[in-house]
Amino acid sequence: MTDCENSCPLLYTLRDQEAQMAALAWLIIPVVAALLAALWGGWAARNRGTGDARSLAGFDRFRETMERARQSESDAA
């Protein structure tokens, strides 16, 4: 041991605490990332309902419009 280790134990205690805090920070990062991933997974898997009726009604309107356009083109020719 050096003279400073014997005379300055507080300095080494602070270095140990810094190392512990650095290790803690590196452990917190993946834990927070896992929690955020779990929250996002729950949000992405939520039950949103289907909404098929509105989508199918929109498709029917589109198809009718396209048929009218095609008929008007054939009438004009």
Query: pLDDT digit string (tens) for 8-38?
Result: 665 567 678 888 888 888 999 999 999 999 9
**Is there a contact between 4 and 11 (Cβ–Cβ < 8 Å)?**
yes
Q: Looking at the domain assignment, is residue 22 inside a domain?
A: yes
Sequence letter at residue 16: D
| Mean pLDDT score of the chain | 82
Which residue range(s) make up the domain with 20? 3-39+53-76
Q: Looking at the domain assignment, is residue 29 inside a domain?
A: yes
Q: Exposure of 42 by Cβ count < 10 A (0-12 exposed, 13-18 middle, 19+ buried)?
A: exposed
Sequence letter at residue 46: R
Average pLDDT over residues 36-58: 87
Measured CA to CA, the distance from residue 59 to residue 62 in angstroms comes to 5
Number of domains in the chain: 1
Paired tokens of 62: 């589109």
Measured CA to CA, the distance from residue 32 to residue 30 in angstroms comes to 5
